[in-house]
Amino acid sequence: MTARRAARRYALLVFLFWVPTGLFLATKVLLMLDRGLSLAEAGTVALVFSLTVAGLELPTGGLADVIGRRAVLAASAVLGVCGLGLLAFADGFWLFVASAVVRGASRALSSGPDQAWYVDTVHATDGPDAPLTAGLARGEAASSVGLALGTLAGGVLPLLGGLGPVPALAVPVLVAAAIEVVRLLVTLFGMPEPPHVRPSLAGVLRGVPSTVATGLRLSVRDAALTRLLVAGGFAGCALAAIELLTPGWLASLVGGATRGATTYATVAALGFVASAVGSLLGPWVEARLGSPVRAGVAGIAVGAVALLGVAVTGPALGVPAVAVAYVLLFVGMGVTAGPQASVLHGRVSPGERATIVSVQSLFLQAAGAVGALAFGWLATAWGPAPGFGAAGLALVAAAVLISRIRLTPRIAPAVDRIAVGSTAGQVDLSGDWDSPATNAGIAADFERST
């Protein structure tokens, strides 16, 4: 497994994870309503999914650091098949709740291990100073492409009718389950791991809490990681606000909910494509600016300018202004994804790599929930334009925080995971924080929370 092959395999795994999400994105709520659930019950099912993901983020990240990446990703795919099977055939509220719990566990198990596997493999083949940005950016682009293709296919498949006893609305869900089977096979047979100690069951039970605690301590004590997590929280607030405010604003601009839904679907698809393009541009921007930190600041700055611009011009220019701002926002966030992920993985050792990604994911979800609540209230009181403006200011704050990150030469050797419960994953934080470096890394960017 060379670094180049690992990058392709990582992109494939990410693509196979996000295609199913796109497939049932458009029909999930409609399927629940068609099976007799009220809108409030459908919302409760969505809440159960989110709470399950949040509750399992850190334990599953620690589990991946202790027992290995492949086993955890395989379990994620198995639970994905089971959860989607339940979703396709559920005919009552509690079965839909059970599906949400199983799918939430699958989502939590998949958060971080694939990226950690890629970084481990590159370090094992090319050394701890091997460049990571291009491969990580390719993975971010694959996630956007998967979501875009899945969403388009999920909207078309119901038009073709049902498959025997399977109604049309459930067909995309079954296709998503089949893709999860493919992801399981790729994980089991195409994802060799670097050698590491296989712990006993007792070692796992001791090691997971210890690994989680180590990751949490590192995220607080390492100034670069702390700034990155807080900056990611600001960005998560902004993205949550955009997802909340854009559909209603477009509907008001085009004069109706039906036309607004179609318009938003088109803009959202453009956003997925823009994110993929931005991710592929990330390594180029980093090379031109000479630093992953500068590339991260540049990408977020583009998004901030877009949101602040639409807050001022949106009411006058209408749908085109909102669409352009949406596309520029996701180009900018795509540009920053790879460089920021590169910085994260230069700050941590293999012993807590997946845990730190899970810490970041949990932080983003919490910040996004707070942002949606706060900006939703602001938009209700003053209209969507101030909400977009506040989201733009949140991105300005994120850019300022990232600009203050000072990278140092690698201060923790890239060692294999060793005995469970050891201190191998801890990082020596001494050194000159003002010296630049080109081989550093930072937390993986903005994971989609829908």
pLDDT value of residue 419: 34
What count of residues does the chain have? 450
pLDDT value of residue 220: 67
Average pLDDT over the chain, rounded to whole?
A: 76
Supply 168's token pair: 């049309």
Distances from the Cα of 192 to the Cαs of 19, 47, 120, 407, in angstroms? 23, 36, 11, 31
Convert the pLDDT of each residue in 112-127 to its tens digit. Answer: 788 888 888 888 888 8
Task: Provide mean pLDDT across the span 162-169.
Answer: 81
Distances from the Cα of 80 to the Cαs of 48, 189, 411, 420, in angstroms? 16, 18, 38, 28
pLDDT value of residue 128: 78
CA gap 169, 6 in Å, rounded = 36
Convert the pLDDT of each residue in 373-403 to its tens digit. Answer: 677 677 777 877 788 888 889 899 989 988 8
Supply 417's token pair: 């995971």
Other C-beta atoms closer than 10 Å to the C-beta of 113 total 31
pLDDT value of residue 94: 93
DSSP tag of 387: H
Convert the pLDDT of each residue in 273-289 to its tens digit. Answer: 888 888 888 888 888 88
Res. 82: pLDDT tops 90: yes
Instruction: Give the pLDDT band (50/70/90) at residue 408.
Output: low
Contact 322, 181 (CB under 8 A): no
Instruction: Give the pLDDT band (50/70/90) at residue 239.
Output: confident
Convert the pLDDT of each residue in 9-37 to its tens digit. Answer: 999 999 999 899 888 876 787 788 888 88
Convert the pLDDT of each residue in 330-358 to its tens digit. Answer: 888 888 887 877 777 777 766 666 667 77
Of residues 234 and 344, the one with the higher pLDDT is 234
Contact 335, 434 (CB under 8 A): no
Domain ranges of the chain: 3-187+196-403
Calculate what percentage of the chain has a pLDDT beyond 90.
13
pLDDT value of residue 207: 53
Cα-only R_g, the chain: 21
Domain 3-187+196-403 has CATH 1.20.1250.20: yes
Instruction: Give the pLDDT band (50/70/90) at residue 226.
Output: confident
Supply 184's token pair: 């399981």
Highest mean pLDDT out of 37-51, 225-239, 293-307: 293-307
Instruction: Give the pLDDT band (50/70/90) at residue 237.
Output: confident
CA gap 205, 185 in Å, rounded = 28
Other C-beta atoms closer than 10 Å to the C-beta of 128 total 16
Instruction: Give the pLDDT band (50/70/90) at residue 98.
Output: very high
Supply 23's token pair: 């497939």
Supply 179's token pair: 């893709």
Where do the H-state alpha helices sit in 255-318?
Answer: 257-289, 292-317
pLDDT value of residue 441: 34
